[in-house]
């Protein structure tokens, strides 16, 4: 049987790196993309040494360069074979001061968290739709569920990504293409290093395991771990006039 081929965008650390390692360990082939080229190349080399075969390819890519996506997709297919699954894990979460309203910083969140996802998801949709097969998994966040005082652009950029994924899912589901939105709670990764007050924290590897399982079960939206679903149900139901008085 031909090994399944996946692209993981944002694979130089955290959840994306764990996704790539897991997909290869299961026997699949995987392309790892991120800005830090030497890092994805190092991880790919390590995977290939562990597997004793060429299963991984590391490619430097900045998702803000969305015009490069089609060329990269072609390169991955020429080196690894036809792509079966896309995992979009790239994202940033920059600290924001209480009195800060910085448009350049906010734009970076939309460029990477939202538009980068749109570009890669569209590229996958153009190929998977006509084929009537394929899996697209986007890592959103529980943070997309409400606009909070701490990180306005992160919340909004993830909400944009999340809604785009829903729309693409509604367009492609009937053709047999899976589009899964994953909303993690707190995950121990470089992104959350030093973040205070985290709870229900899971490892990047556990997050990757739950993410892969959700795509394979053809879930539409999944909270990881599952206990975030009822929690976010409560948070979403808090009326705005109460929510604006809360400190989170």
Ligand X SMILES: NC(=O)c1ccc[n+]([C@@H]2O[C@H](COP(=O)([O-])OP(=O)(O)OC[C@H]3O[C@@H](n4cnc5c(N)ncnc54)[C@H](OP(=O)(O)O)[C@@H]3O)[C@@H](O)[C@H]2O)c1
Cβ at position 6, least distance to ligand X in Å: 15
Nearer to ligand X by C-beta: 175 or 206? 206
206 binds ligand X (CB under 6 A): no
d(CA 18, CA 189): 10
- Restricting to residues 69-98, which ones interact with ligand X according to CB under 6 A? 89-93
Residue closer to ligand X by CB (options 12, 180) is: 12
CA distance 50 to 20: 13
Q: Under rule CB under 6 A, how many of the chain's residues touch ligand X? A: 31
Among 109, 81, 78, 75, which residue's Cα sits nearest to residue 95?
109
Near ligand X in 102-161, by CB under 6 A: 112, 139, 141
Work out how close the CB of 241 gets to ligand X at its nearest, in angstroms, rounded to a whole number. 27
Tokens 């701490």 found at:
150
User: Is 208 a binder of ligand X (CB under 6 A)?
Assistant: no
Place of tokens 């470089």: 190
From candidates 95, 150, 190, 230, binder to ligand X by CB under 6 A: 190
Pick the closer one to ligand X by CB: 56 or 112. Answer: 112
CB nearer to ligand X: pick between 63 and 179: 63
Residue of 42, 192, 206, 225 interacting with ligand X (CB under 6 A): 192
138: β partners: 88, 181
Taking the complex as a whole, how short is the minimal distance between the CB of residue 77 and ligand X, in angstroms? 20
Residues that bind ligand X (CB under 6 A): 10-16, 34-36, 39, 61-64, 89-93, 112, 139, 141, 184, 186-187, 189-192, 204
């Amino acid at each position: 049987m031909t090994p399944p081929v996946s692209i993981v965008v944002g694979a130089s650390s955290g959840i994306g790196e764990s996704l790539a390692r897991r997909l290869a360990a299961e026997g699949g082939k995987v392309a790892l993309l991120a800005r830090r080229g030497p890092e994805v190349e190092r991880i790919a080399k390590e995977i290939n040494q562990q597997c004793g075969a060429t299963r991984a390819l590391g490619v430097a890519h900045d998702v803000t360069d969305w015009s490069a996506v089609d060329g990269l997709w072609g390169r991955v297919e020429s080196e690894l074979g036809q792509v079966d699954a896309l995992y979009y894990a790239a994202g940033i979460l920059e600290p924001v001061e209480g009195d800060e309203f910085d448009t350049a910083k906010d734009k970076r969140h939309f460029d990477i968290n939202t538009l980068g996802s749109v570009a890669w998801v569209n590229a996958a949709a153009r190929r998977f739709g006509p084929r009537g097969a394929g899996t697209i998994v986007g890592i959103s966040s529980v943070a997309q569920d409400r606009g909070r005082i701490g990180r306005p652009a992160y919340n909004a950029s993830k909400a944009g990504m999340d809604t785009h994924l829903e729309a693409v899912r509604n367009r492609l589901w009937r053709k047999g293409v899976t589009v899964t939105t994953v909303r993690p709670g707190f995950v121990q990764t470089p992104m959350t290093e030093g973040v205070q007050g985290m709870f229900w924290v899971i490892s990047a590897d556990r997050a990757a395991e739950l993410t892969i399982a959700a795509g394979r079960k053809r879930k539409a939206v999944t909270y990881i771990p599952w206990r975030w679903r009822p929690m976010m149900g409560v948070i979403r139901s808090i009326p705005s006039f109460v929510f604006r008085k809360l400190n989170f």
